[in-house]
Structure 1
């Protein structure tokens, strides 16, 4: 997946009434400290080699039809040590149904524990549920001094470069598969070092909420991550609630066949190759 810069006009989001840093620190000192953050995600669609054959009008039409995959909302619930991040699913405005195809390659309910360095994620692929257990993605953040306001929070900038495959282990790409197959076929007995595609990440975190959590695969900064740009996607926090009246459930998913991230990627790649080969066989017949 090629990293591309997504430019869009940010909406002015409404936050809960300003929570003073002193009040948050007081809440953090309590045993029951919890928080809930809402994120809006916007992505630019990757059409690959197929998209190169489409006209500008056709691309616009495809993007309109795929809007429910390109614009999503997520919820992150967290305490001092753990968090659960998942999509706030909504019905397709046209079909009245959820995006069942896209769901096969979308991130499922994700539990992260920054104290134990563990991640547990529930994934469903064509009717079979998997429980992906692995370590948190290591991120070598470069801390900056640049600041900006997001709602009522002062945020600091941090950047990192992360292997793309590590950020998209739950997804599948035909272009990536073809590239790997072509590379394998053209390789010789000589030892060659394969280039690793990297994704440049820009994150904005607030020390006013001093927890190491963030959306998706991102974590490990000295404050809650409120905005992150990675490849073709931007995620922006639109609302935060500290210590809501109703107690939040922060528990890891438990159902599914236990695999690692690498094992899960191998499973879905093998299955998609089977689908392709079976379809090709029917076409020849």
Structure 2
């Protein structure tokens, strides 16, 4: 009992010291996404395996979060073969909102977001309040690297899109349903910032791991007070829209692309199809 009390007091003292001083940091995250594709019977096994391989490569990415006590900048580590659209053998996969130049700026003190998103050749600047996340904190703990982390969860819903291919003279069908899911996060009060990867925020410590049932974001490295400093520049360029307006633009553009792709396929005598992620 005495040992546990000593550890708790030391932990609390360490957090208090960090809160009393200015500090910065860079957290590196690796992401993986599980895809459960339900494709119709017209698609052979080889084609399904090719799609799975293309998606797996696309969703294994690396991101950095540069932060201080109140603000953070999250962006993807650029690669030479960065692509948001992949095509092969009559297939086209569009990864919406996955541009390598996208920058997400969050300010938890002022409760606001500025997200530069380049998609389909246009640059948008999403300016809005940070979306509220109803975290339920628990006493469950685990270590991620050298950091003691606590578990927190919240419930949410998302759209699930299903696609079926059509015959040469018919259009394919898209079905949109809504499913409930649970977000599980692990945060460390040892780094007392209310930030995390992507749009996750609001916990009393840096979020080092997030899983929403399909995507896992895991911190592989944290550098506190890096010698070269951090870049917390807020993006300023792009057509200004709210988050809801941007979702509507995305839906409309994706529908337009789907119709165009189906039309081109019928005109060229191809039975291709399109998979859209993130729309």
TM-score (norm 1): 0.74
Q: Say if 2:24 is the partner of 1:34.
A: yes
CA 1:264–1:51 in 2, change beyond 3 Å: closer, same or farther?
farther
Q: Could you tell me how far 1:142 is from its partner in structure 2?
A: 0.8
- Which residues in structure 2 correspond to 1:273-284 (within 5 Å)? 273-282=255-264
* Aligned 8 A contact 2:112 2:130 in 1: yes
| The structure with more helix, counted as a fraction of residues | 1
Q: Which has the larger radius of gyration?
A: 2
Q: Distance in 2 between matches of 1:116 and 1:51?
A: 51
CA 1:273–1:196 in 2, change beyond 3 Å: closer, same or farther?
closer
CA 1:155–1:98 in 2, change beyond 3 Å: closer, same or farther?
same
5+ residue gaps, structure 2, are: 1-10, 86-93, 164-172, 268-279
Matched residue, 1:231: 213
Matched residue, 1:154: 148
* Aligned 8 A contact 2:74 2:198 in 1: yes
Q: Distance in 2 between matches of 1:51 and 1:212?
A: 47
SS at match of 2:219: strand
CA 1:275–1:196 in 2, change beyond 3 Å: closer, same or farther?
closer
1:20-43: CA deviation from partner (whole Å, max 9, x where unpaired): 986675454334x11110011111
Equivalent residue in structure 2 for 1:205, among 140, 164, 187: 187
Q: Distance in 2 between matches of 1:227 and 1:44?
A: 16
Q: Could you tell me how far 1:89 is from its partner in structure 2?
A: 1.8
SS at match of 1:39: strand
RMSD across aligned C-alpha pairs, in angstroms?
2.7
SS at match of 1:251: coil
Residue correspondences, number: 239
1:43-67: CA deviation from partner (whole Å, max 9, x where unpaired): 1124244599453x54433322333
* Aligned 8 A contact 1:68 1:99 in 2: no
* Aligned 8 A contact 1:40 1:238 in 2: yes
CA 1:272–1:65 in 2, change beyond 3 Å: closer, same or farther?
closer
| The structure with more strand, counted as a fraction of residues | 2
1:233-253: CA deviation from partner (whole Å, max 9, x where unpaired): 111100001111112111211
Equivalent residue in structure 1 for 2:124, among 126, 130, 134: 130
Matched residue, 2:198: 216
SS at match of 1:164: strand
CA 1:148–1:106 in 2, change beyond 3 Å: closer, same or farther?
same
Q: Could you tell me how far 1:149 is from its partner in structure 2?
A: 0.7
CA 1:68–1:246 in 2, change beyond 3 Å: closer, same or farther?
same
5+ residue gaps, structure 1, are: 1-19, 92-96, 166-171, 181-194
* Aligned 8 A contact 2:18 2:192 in 1: no
Q: Distance in 1 between matches of 2:41 and 2:58?
A: 17
Q: Could you tell me how far 1:179 is from its partner in structure 2?
A: 2.6
Q: Distance in 1 between matches of 2:263 and 2:95?
A: 27
Matched residue, 1:184: none
Equivalent residue in structure 2 for 1:62, among 51, 60, 66: 51
Matched residue, 1:178: 174
1:201-238: CA deviation from partner (whole Å, max 9, x where unpaired): 11001111111110012111111111110131111100
Q: Distance in 2 between matches of 1:279 and 1:62?
A: 17
Q: Distance in 1 between matches of 2:196 and 2:42?
A: 35
Q: Distance in 2 between matches of 1:155 and 1:52?
A: 47
Q: Distance in 1 between matches of 2:97 and 2:39?
A: 19
